[in-house]
Amino acid sequence: MSKNAKHFSIVGVAIAIVTYLVYFILSTFFFELPEAASAEATIIDALFNGHYILIAFLFAIVVVPLVYSIVVFRQQEGDETDAPHIHENTVLEIAWTVLPIFLVIGFGVWGVSSYNQVIASEPDEVTIRVWGFKWDWLFYYPEHDNINDPALVLQEGVPVKLEMQSTDVIHAFWVPKFRVKQDVFPYDVENQDLNFGNADYSPDEVFYEPQVIRFTPVVEGVYRVRCAEICGTNHYAMLANVFVLSPSNYQKWLDGEFLLPPDPNQGNSQIQDGVDTYLLELERFDINTGYTPPPDPFAVPEAEAGEDG
């Protein structure tokens, strides 16, 4: 018995150490999440953190006794006898069936409440309509005369509600730094020729309910929508830029004074050189001042002429 007590105390201490180490590795480096750029990301990341603790603990209580047995109890040189005949222990078995149920209930409750917070609507949210199609995105701003843009432009700190639909197959809206993802279901495959500029667009025409996703962007910057549901040839390149602007720049953008880079995927072109094409467009973009178009190649480049001389 005292021998067993020794084994158990070593294992117990090792479990505590390994739990901490694994948790440390997961949360600070290995499974470190991308920047949290939405209010929802904070809620979701807390749940992620809870899961990391759980993973670290469960990893330790399995791996430590396993490795300990391999090192300590393994067959010794020349010992051909069998091990002790221990084949059941009802108390233990009931314990490891019942105790995990409490963990399940705990994570179940946390899971429900975090989900409810993530999908909750805000009173002052702005609605934007989103069309996904092979293989690009288009965003409508009904509160601003239905202007539309191939990029998603948001105002820092203002909650948005996206009403999303697809014209062909299932796509999925995902911005990793906002964490949230929602599949975009098709509503009218017969009628591929949607008039995207149609200002009379009304939700009553829609037979299939739009898919809704809500979030509040909280950090100014450039992000990327990545289609997350396989949708055919150029699925990998079905991207769109997201610009989260400060309130003053957002107003300027509405007034046409804040320029955005051209969408590399516009007109459904094939992105033959891979998705890095998107990065090239951003080289001349600054989140504070907007996009500077490249100089007209036929104009006399004054600055350069000066440098030469």
Partner 1 sequence: MKYFLTSALTKGLVGQILTFIVSYGLIRNFRKTVSGWEVPAPELSGWQAPYDEPAMVLATIISLFGFLLACGVVSDWLKMMAGQKPHLKHGAQGKPEWTRYINIDVNHKVIGIQYGLNSIFILLVGGLLAILFRLELALPGLQFLQDGSQYNTLFSAHGIIMIAAIFAGVGAMTNYLGPVLIGASDMSFPRLNAFSYWVGVPSAVILLAGIFMGGWDTGWVGYPTHSTTTQMIGVQMFLLGFYLNGFSSIASGLNMVVTAVYMRAKGMSYFRMPIFVWAAVAASILQATTTQTVGVALTMVVAQRTLGMNFFTPVISPELLAAGVPAGDPILFQHIFWFYSHPAVYVWILPGLGIISELLPVFTRKPLFGYKWIALSSIGIALVGMLVWAHHMLTSSMPPAWKIPFMLSTLLVAVPTGVKFFSWLATIWEGKMRFPTPMLFVLGAISVFLLGGLSGPILGTIATDMHLHDTYFVVGHFHATIFGGFVFPFFAAIYYWFPKITGKMYDELLGKIHFWIMVPGFWVMSLLQMRVGVLGMRRRIADYGSDLGIQVEHALITVATLAIGWSILIMLYNLITSARKEELAPENPWESRSPEFLAPSPLPEFNYLAPIEVVGEPYDYGLEGATYAVVPTPAGD
Q: Decide which of partner 1, Cu ion, none touches 234; Cβ closer than 5 to 8 Å per partner kind.
A: partner 1
Q: Is 227 in the site for Cu ion (CB under 5 A)?
A: yes
Query: Could you tell me the two tokens for 284?
Result: 């001349």
State the binding string over 75-104 for partner 1 (x if CB under 8 A, else -). Answer: xx--x-xxxxxxxxx--xx--xx--xx-xx
Q: Is 240 in the site for Cu ion (CB under 5 A)?
A: no
Q: Which stretch binds partner 1 (CB under 8 A): 139-147, 155-163, 269-277, 298-306?
A: 269-277
| Beta carbon nearer to partner 1, 74 or 298 | 74
Are the C-beta atoms of 158 and 126 separated by less than 8 Å?
A: yes
Least gap, CB of 91 to Cu ion (angstroms) = 33
Least gap, CB of 168 to Cu ion (angstroms) = 9
Residue 66: partners with Cβ closer than 8 Å, 6 or more residues away: none
| Beta carbon nearer to partner 1, 24 or 30 | 30
State the binding string over 117-156 for partner 1 (x if CB under 8 A, else -). Answer: -xx-------------------------------------
| Beta carbon nearer to Cu ion, 231 or 242 | 231
Least gap, CB of 62 to partner 1 (angstroms) = 6
| Beta carbon nearer to partner 1, 43 or 153 | 43
Q: Strand order in 221-226's β-sheet? A: 152-155, 239-245, 221-226
Cα(288)–Cα(268) distance, integer angstroms? 29
Task: Give the closest residue to 242 by CA, choosing from 270, 255, 261.
Answer: 261
Binding residue for Cu ion, selected from 37, 151, 231, 260, defined by CB under 5 A: 231
Phi, psi at 297, each rounded to 5°: -65, -20
State the binding string over 188-227 for partner 1 (x if CB under 8 A, else -). Answer: xxxx-------------xxxxx-x------------x-xx
Task: Give the closest residue to 258 by CA, choosing from 228, 225, 223, 286.
Answer: 286
Q: Decide which of partner 1, Cu ion, none touches 85; Cβ closer than 5 to 8 Å per partner kind.
A: partner 1
Among positions 55-74, residues that touch partner 1 (CB under 8 A) are 55, 58-59, 62-63, 65-66, 69-70, 73-74
Q: Is 279 in the site for partner 1 (CB under 8 A)?
A: yes
Q: Decide which of Cu ion, partner 1, none touches 208; Cβ closer than 5 to 8 Å per partner kind.
A: partner 1
Distance of CA 6 to the CA centre of its chain: 46
Binding residue for Cu ion, selected from 171, 177, 179, 226, defined by CB under 5 A: 171
Are the C-beta atoms of 164 and 213 separated by less than 8 Å?
A: yes
Q: Is 32 in the site for partner 1 (CB under 8 A)?
A: yes
Residues in the site for Cu ion, rule: CB under 5 A? 171, 227, 231, 238
